[in-house]
Each structure stands twice: as C-alpha cells, then as structure tokens.
Amino acid sequence: MKAFVSVLSLLLVLMTAQSARAQVTPVPATTPGYTEGPISSITLQPDGSVVMTVIGVTVTVPVGTPVRSPSRSLTLRQLALRTRLPGRSQPGFIGGTALVNGVVDVAAGTFTATDMVVEPAENVLIGVVTQASPLCILNSEIVPGTDARIPFSMVNQFGFAITAPTIPLGTNAAAEGYYASGKFQTFLLELTGDFPLVNPNSQINIIRAQCRERGPSTQRGDEVTMRGFYHARNGGLPEIQIFRVDGLVETLLGNATPIPDATLPKFGVWNFRIDTPLTAAPVLGTAPVKLRVVMVAPDGSRASAAIEPDLTPN
C-alpha cells in the first residue's frame, strides 16, 4: 500500500509540474532597458550609427535615434565628435554622463537605445551676481558656452530669452552647466529682473504638462494639468485656450487661468486643470498625446506653444 501511495504521489507531482510548465508565460523576445552613468567610449560606425559604452554596457544607437544634450538635439555625428567641449580635457562627451532608454534583446543580451540624453556633467549654481565683468555668481566665474553641441541661452525668471548689456550687482541668478578648468561653463543663465526681450512680441511657454488616463472614458474623464508663463506685449490680461491635438484635428479642452506678475504685469503665470468630457469616441476617449496652448493678448497679438505631455497610466 505504501508503494502504491508513493507512486500516486510521484504521479501527482509530475502532473503538477507538467501543468505548471504548460502555464508558464513565454519569455518575450525584447524587454525595456535603461542605463545611466559615465561614458567611456563613443564610436561612429560606417553606416552612420553609433556604438558606445556606458557603465560597461555596450549601447547600439541606430540612425534616427533621438539624442539630446542639455540644450539641443544632436546628430549622431555630433554625439561622436571628439573635439573637446570648452574647458574639458577629454574628447567630446567622453567622461560625461548618458541617460539611455532602450530595448534589450533577451536572447542575445544586447541593448539598443531608443532615446538618450548626454551631458558633460550636471552642475547648478543659484545665488546673486557678485561681479559684472567677468560675470560671477557667488564669486564663481560664469563662462557662456560657445560650442554648438551645448548652445548657450539666457532667460528671465519667466523663461523668455533676454539680452543683458549690463547686469546689476545683487541680481538673483541661476546657472546650469558644468565646472571645468576652474570656471563654470554655462549653457543656461537665468536672471531675475526687467531685462530686454530678444523677442518683444507676445509670447507663451509651457513648463509642465501631465495627463493621467482614468478610464473607462464613458465613466471618468482623463486628467490634464498644465502650467506655464506668458508675456503680453502691451499688457492686460490675455485669453489662453488649451487644445488637444490628434493628427490634423484640434479639440478645445478649455481656458487656462492667467495671473499677472505683481512687479512686471506684462508677464504672468497661467494654470490649467481639467477632467476631459465623458465620451465613447475612440480617439477623444484616450488621454491627449499632444497639447497646444494659444494666447490672444488684449491688443490682438497671438502666441502659441505645443508639447507632448508626460503620460501617467490609471
């Protein structure tokens, strides 16, 4: 009897194992991957693609892969260029940092980039101007970038490009860039104050846009949140409308709320939040993948900006 029970137990174990194997989900051919860290090599290939090494990982970068420095989009040739960036001793972006989204081939164990950001380093300086010439923030010398791979820009506290022939001591300032050769090599300088605009016309920007999928769309609308700044060239409170963009079709979502700045009333902040209308429509029932803001100032001048929002699943 014991032998019979043992055989039954063994058969049960085998049947259970076979059933479990039958229910195992097949291993996918690819899976998402991510790597972030120092770059030790970048090599341009004859076909125009790039192979690079990031924290010991070989990363293949196909032609057409979106690549950005902190302040612009890069071609793969610019990514691989070995000309030294200002103040640095290493070639190009070697020794800098890469943040790479990609796809892993599970069987081969290879990693292919789908988009990437590269930078020499990530340094930030916030304080006040302590010297005008050479420009210093908290006594650290600021050198505007001159390399086309990381172009320099200067903006006011609202994010609009400015010129600054003179910068008063004590001006609140913030700089982004990298510290090299004893100087702060800067690609973005933000100054607080009433500085001349590069573009004096009405302008609007988007500093944040988020969408949250909250379906089913017949019962709950999707959440859309946006924020930005505006400039109305002749002052007054502008009308600001938000549209979702689906291909060539734009659908009005609603009006944003503008709040003028107390000190510089031609400038201001705008905010927008809405739950999209309930619908059974297949396109409008999904969270927006592109948003456009359109401003009409009291003098009739117009400005617009568009963005692909950050999408958060339900």
Q: CA-CA distance, 273 to 276, in Å (whole number)?
A: 10
User: Which among 191, 223, 240 is the end of a domain?
Assistant: 191
Tell me whether residue 6 is exposed, middle or buried, using C-beta atoms within 10 angstroms of its C-beta: 0 to 12, 13 to 18, 19 or more. Answer: exposed
Q: CA-CA distance, 260 to 240, in Å (whole number)?
A: 13
Q: CA-CA distance, 311 to 307, in Å (whole number)?
A: 12
Closest C-alpha to 37, from 110, 134, 116, 112: 116
Q: Would 3 be classed as within a structural domain?
A: no
Statement to judge: residues 108 and 142 lie in one domain: no
- Considering Cα of 76, then 77, then 78, then 80, what sign does the dihedral take? positive
Mean pLDDT score, 51-63: 98
Statement to judge: residues 139 and 170 lie in one domain: yes
Statement to judge: residues 273 and 218 lie in one domain: yes
Q: What is the pLDDT of residues 77-100, one digit of tens each?
A: 999 999 999 999 999 999 999 999
The pLDDT value recorded for residue 28 is 83
Statement to judge: residues 130 and 83 lie in one domain: no
Q: CA-CA distance, 152 to 144, in Å (whole number)?
A: 6
Q: Is the pLDDT of residue 72 over 90?
A: yes
Q: Is the pLDDT of residue 263 over 80?
A: yes
The pLDDT value recorded for residue 68 is 98
Q: Would 41 be classed as within a structural domain?
A: yes
Phi, psi of 153 (to 5 degrees): -140, 155
Q: Would 18 be classed as within a structural domain?
A: no
Q: CA-CA distance, 234 to 266, in Å (whole number)?
A: 7
Statement to judge: residues 223 and 284 lie in one domain: yes
Statement to judge: residues 213 and 288 lie in one domain: yes
How many domains does the chain divide into? 3
Mean pLDDT score, 259-284: 95
The pLDDT value recorded for residue 217 is 83
Q: Which domain holds residue 101?
A: 30-119
Statement to judge: residues 66 and 156 lie in one domain: no
Q: Would 248 be classed as within a structural domain?
A: yes
Q: CA-CA distance, 103 to 60, in Å (whole number)?
A: 10
Beta pairing partners, 209: 226
The pLDDT value recorded for residue 3 is 40
What is the greatest pairwise CA distance in the chain? 100
CATH for 216: 2.60.40.1200
Q: Would 225 be classed as within a structural domain?
A: yes
Beta pairing partners, 312: 212
Q: Would 284 be classed as within a structural domain?
A: yes
Statement to judge: residues 57 and 112 lie in one domain: yes
Statement to judge: residues 211 and 304 lie in one domain: yes
Q: What is the pLDDT of residues 20-43, one digit of tens each?
A: 454 556 768 999 999 999 999 999
Statement to judge: residues 86 and 60 lie in one domain: yes
Statement to judge: residues 153 and 127 lie in one domain: yes
Q: CA-CA distance, 239 to 302, in Å (whole number)?
A: 10
| Paired sense of beta strands 203-204 and 302-307, if any | unpaired
Statement to judge: residues 108 and 138 lie in one domain: no
User: Which among 83, 98, 119 is the end of a domain?
Assistant: 119
CATH for 110: 2.40.50
Q: How many CB atoms lie within 10 A of CB 158?
A: 22
Q: What is the pLDDT of residues 210-235, one digit of tens each?
A: 999 987 888 889 999 999 999 999 99
User: Which among 191, 214, 242 is the end of a domain?
Assistant: 191
pLDDT band, very low/low/confident/very high, at 17 (cuts 50, 70, 90): very low
Q: What is the pLDDT of residues 168-207, one digit of tens each?
A: 999 999 999 999 999 999 999 999 999 999 999 999 999 9
